[in-house]
Structure 1
Amino acid sequence: MANCAAIALLCSALLPVTSLAADHTADMRAIVDAAIRPLMAEHDVPGMAVAITIDGKPAFFNYGVASREKQTPVSEKTLFEMGSISKVFTGTLASYAQVLGKLSLDDSPGKYMPQLKGSAIDKASLLHVGTYTAGGLPLQFPDEVSNAGMAAYFQQWKADAAPGTQRRYSNPSLGLFGHLTALALKRDFAELMETQLFPRLGLYNSHIRIPAGAMASYAWGYNRDNKAIRVNPGVFADEAYGVKSSAADMIRFVQVNIDPGQLPGPMQRAVAGTHVGYFKVGEMVQGLGWEQYPYPITVERLLAGNSATMIMDPNPATRLDQPAAPAKGTLFNKTGSTGGFGAYVAFVPAARIGIVMMANKNYPIPSRVKAAHAILAQLAAAAR
């Protein structure tokens, strides 16, 4: 009965919600506060920026501090490390390159990195690399692998499964996808993100390399010992987990994903391309960065799709016979973490509703999912 009630509540998210955004800011604040304040207290989170979009209208809810040492308050302009939410931006850049005719997802890696021709990774396609289905690339590179040794690592890598049969979430896989995209576009990856992708999406406070003038807005992250830290770059850090962004920019990104039609033609098609689902993995569908679920959805099902098993273990994958734009009722989401930051994004285009949650502590993913699910459901119910 509890699941039935949750489904009924979430079905209401398909109702118009403009009036809530326009007239009930205090109600929205109460809903967000009820989910976020206990979460921050439980996990000792110094600061959070939460943004909601309802029918194209953003609302911002800021909590705590960006720096415990300086007691700098969080705002919608505070820069947080997005962790693996960066992978969605990498997927968008690759989709953009495909729209421009610079690459095809059917290409093999060796087309862009000739040193990989004939290797096991070259039996996979760019699509496999971009959806973690190349055949068993690990979550992280081994510690001994450096930037200089990256190509040699892929040359000697041995697959555990045939391409397209297994999803194993992987920074090396998605990082290679971004690297190959940059090679296809014949530009540096970070430069492409900062001078091409971000501006075309209307994002002007998002960075791979934070400029000196924006450093004052860059939050400090805090580890389990409450030590102030920031991301430690590794191989393919830019491609896999390198984006730093603000709540204002991230909710703009959610809005253009809800309604890509507001973007110029090529970027409109690029964003829409990241909504195509390619592989079924349990009850989740994997696209280029975004993970998709039928909507409405229970919190239990959403938690299963974001579980440690889905992140840490190989899972059987089935290629969809007709990859296409998702059904009308689809929820998209992605988590992201670094040593000192934790973030979550979820949105439902049919309901024109979405949420961004950014924190300067890597608190547990289930807590993020539960809070976002509760907020979206209650906002929809309050709008009736």
Structure 2
Amino acid sequence: MTKLNEISDWLRENLPRLVAEHDVPGASAAVTAGDEVVEVAAGVLNKNTGVEATTDSVFQIGSITKVWTATLVLQLADDGLLDIDATVRTYLPEFRIADEDAAARITVRQLLNHTAGFEGDLFTDTGRGDDCVEKYVATLHDTPQLFPPGEMFSYNNAGYCVLGRIVEVLRGKQYDQCLRDHLFAPLGLTHAATCADEAILFRAAVGHVTQDEDAGPQVAPLWSLVRSNAPAGSMLAMTAGDLLKFARMHMSGGAGVLAEETVRAMQRVETRVPELAIMGDSWGLGWEMFSSPQGTIVGHDGGTIGQNAFLRMVPEQGVAVALLTNGGRPHDLYQAVFRHVLRELAGVELPGMPEPAARPEKIDAERFTGVYTSSVAERVITQDADGRIWMELVPRGIMAELSPESAMKTELVPWRADTLVAAEPVQGIHLPLAFVGDDGHGHALYLHTGRADRRVAR
């Protein structure tokens, strides 16, 4: 029996149990090693209908879409139609944000590696027409610049929508059609959908959200985010098996879809991420990288409305794992599945998740206290008379619309230098918060959770 067969047996035996244990309505997993692929599914696609999750079911892949968008951009570079070190305005002269100097200097590379520096969590609905991405980019004219282009990493959904528009302009067709023509077709995908209208032609998962712990995950009120954010991950859905076809291409020198050197460049470290432990410690051109004592793990995660997706590759060994879920505690399920599969199949350990000390030390938190804002949240960090540190989270924008109940007050404790961590877990995660920069008076400039939120008040 091969190692992959053993993994297949383990998944068939354990995935149903793990799905139930972590309150995940349904999940689909696929694993590849060399030329072989195994797929396993468990649970249901929709708690209201009870439709069974199967390996031919499509789930949203969320922000894993960004690697698909990056691949479309790098294909343009391979074809001699684009230079990633050219400015965005070389290809989109109309590109505007609030900071004119930054708008003129931001490069395609900086969009790809999330160092462009402007506010990124903007989910403006510009309709469902084929011009929605074009219209979305036009709405960015008053978007604030958080830091100079290239200075540091800050995850940027809006930047990937701009990349999607560049693809549209240089290919002369709408983003979804670019996906079909330049990725779906050459990869031989049979169960992939660019929107809800296509997804309903398959067995399609719906997201589930938890608003009442006693009631558990319930069907989400919406299937997807807005179409204008499709290049960033609001729409794309597929089976775990089709997602692995994409991963295998990236582990096989491009397989005619990308040049071999381009594949290597996408997986090369471009920028470091503040020490957060819930995401990769570095980023390439689209790909996220996770350092392990046994080697580098390459991947990306995705989250939409009640759906979460996870993809990891160990390219040197030709091993990749995909997990698609539709609610509950998906990160706990991810940890259980990926730790076992990557350890047994590739001898690689996932990086550990943050855990607060049993007896956290008391510190002077003046460097951290203050008000930090973004388009989706306001975070107020305070320290009380007993020395305890607190974060009050107030959702804004789309987060206030979708999850008004997400407002909360959380105790924070020291974790590592310049990083605090939530004392209590939320959905199995002790959220870490890194504090970056110095205002010259001993206070951090940014609160970093993967996104850099600017400090606006003490």
What letter corresponds to residue 28 of structure 1 in structure 2? I
Per the alignment, do residues 65 and 255 of structure 1 end up closer, same or farther by CA in structure 2, a change over 3 Å counting? same
Kept after mapping to 1: 8 A contact 2:28/2:42: yes
Per the alignment, do residues 181 and 337 of structure 1 end up closer, same or farther by CA in structure 2, a change over 3 Å counting? same
Q: Distance in 1 between the 2:159 and 2:122 partners?
A: 9
Report the counterpart of residue 168 of structure 1 in structure 2: 154
Report the counterpart of residue 66 of structure 2 in structure 1: 87
Deviation of 1:209 after TM superposition, in Å, equals: 3.0
Gaps of 5+ in 2: 211-216, 276-280, 349-458
Gaps of 5+ in 1: 1-17, 298-328
What letter corresponds to residue 105 of structure 1 in structure 2? I
The one of 291, 294, 300 equivalent to 1:294 is 291
Report the counterpart of residue 77 of structure 2 in structure 1: 98
Q: Distance in 2 between the 1:218 and 1:265 partners?
A: 27
List aligned pairs for 1:16-165, cutoff 5 A. Answer: 19-21=2-4, 25=5, 27-32=6-11, 36-116=15-95, 118=100, 120-141=102-123, 150-165=136-151
Q: Which deviations, in whole Å up to 9, do the C-alpha atoms of 1:104-127 show, x marking residues without a partner? A: 111212122222365532321011
Q: Describe the SS at the equivalent of 1:361.
A: coil
The one of 269, 272, 286 equivalent to 1:280 is 272
The one of 201, 209, 225 equivalent to 1:232 is 225
User: Which protein is richer in helix relative to its size?
Assistant: 1
Q: Distance in 1 between the 2:145 and 2:62 partners?
A: 26
Report the counterpart of residue 169 of structure 2 in structure 1: 183
Deviation of 1:81 after TM superposition, in Å, equals: 0.5
Per the alignment, do residues 268 and 201 of structure 1 end up closer, same or farther by CA in structure 2, a change over 3 Å counting? farther
Kept after mapping to 2: 8 A contact 1:31/1:378: no
Q: Which deviations, in whole Å up to 9, do the C-alpha atoms of 1:64-88 show, x marking residues without a partner? A: 1223333322222111000111111
Q: Distance in 2 between the 1:151 and 1:87 partners?
A: 16
Which has the greater radius of gyration? 2
1:355 aligns with 2:317: no
Q: Distance in 2 between the 1:189 and 1:152 partners?
A: 16
Q: Distance in 1 between the 2:167 and 2:67 partners?
A: 13
Report the counterpart of residue 245 of structure 1 in structure 2: 238
Q: Distance in 2 between the 1:346 and 1:209 partners?
A: 24
Q: Distance in 1 between the 2:50 and 2:160 partners?
A: 36
User: Which protein is richer in strand relative to its size?
Assistant: 2
Report the counterpart of residue 438 of structure 2 in structure 1: none
Per the alignment, do residues 265 and 198 of structure 1 end up closer, same or farther by CA in structure 2, a change over 3 Å counting? closer
Per the alignment, do residues 83 and 130 of structure 1 end up closer, same or farther by CA in structure 2, a change over 3 Å counting? same
Per the alignment, do residues 266 and 339 of structure 1 end up closer, same or farther by CA in structure 2, a change over 3 Å counting? closer
Deviation of 1:187 after TM superposition, in Å, equals: 1.7
Deviation of 1:35 after TM superposition, in Å, equals: 6.1
Cα RMSD for the two superposed structures: 2.9
TM-score (norm 2): 0.65
TM-score (norm 1): 0.76
Deviates most, 278-287 or 157-166: 278-287
Q: Describe the SS at the equivalent of 2:41.
A: strand
1:260 aligns with 2:253: yes
Deviation of 1:344 after TM superposition, in Å, equals: 0.3
**Count of residue correspondences:** 328
Q: Describe the SS at the equivalent of 1:73.
A: coil
Kept after mapping to 1: 8 A contact 2:61/2:238: yes
Deviates most, 57-66 or 130-139: 130-139
Q: Which deviations, in whole Å up to 9, do the C-alpha atoms of 1:252-294 show, x marking residues without a partner? A: 2222222235x22646555444223311224722112211133
Q: What percent of counterpart residues are identical?
A: 22
